[in-house]
Chains A and B, each alone.
Chain A
């Protein structure tokens, strides 16, 4: 089965990102494909490498980055949602004249077309969060 994953909530406040992560990991381990994970609404906040939870807690951002590295997962952060919330990659920082970027390893910033595209290509589009 080909899955597309949508994460609509940020880390820690809601469990949506945890559930999406567990689902993606389980699907990959069972031999399914995860074509893309798309982060929208506050979900874009999962993609900042400045996330620093207490040491005895799970590191939601790093966990996504590691899963991406292990499985070649495509983690896409919506550009419009990211701009509103201050999630910036080196290209965007340059384009918008910002003095820094904060995108985490394995994440990339792109447009909503990437969400529609995975909706077309996947057998199932799984939406996590409100």
Chain B
């Protein structure tokens, strides 16, 4: 825990472990929502992608025919990080 930032003057490190593919379950979508809120609270946020979670980083995903929201367009791909 380090001092600084907002949220009562405390910034902590939050690491989110992503182990699921992006659209088979809702874990990835709702997981991303927590990550964004954590960042909005100016916390020290990192994400790790393991197992099928690596599919979340695939470029050019098209969810139209699955009738699901394509929510990962904003994530950088490994090549960009």
Contact = CB atoms under 8 A, between A and B. Distances in A.
B30 A120 contact: no
B41 A41 contact: no
A112 B7 contact: no
Nearest to A80: B33
A120 B8 contact: yes
Contacts of B41: 113, 116-117, 120
A120 B20 CA distance: 26
16 contacts: A40-B30, A40-B34, A41-B26, A41-B30, A111-B37, A112-B34, A113-B37, A113-B41, A116-B43, A119-B12, A119-B38, A119-B43, A120-B8, A120-B41, A120-B43, A130-B27
Contacts of A115: 34, 37
Contacts of A113: 37, 41
Contacts of A120: 7-8, 10, 12, 41, 43
A103 interface: no
Interface in A78-116: 80-81, 84, 111-113, 115-116
Interface string A65-85: 000000000000000110010
Size band of the B side of the interface? 10 to 19
Interface residues of A, number: 15
Interface in B1-51: 7-8, 10, 12, 14, 19-20, 26-27, 30, 33-34, 37-38, 41, 43
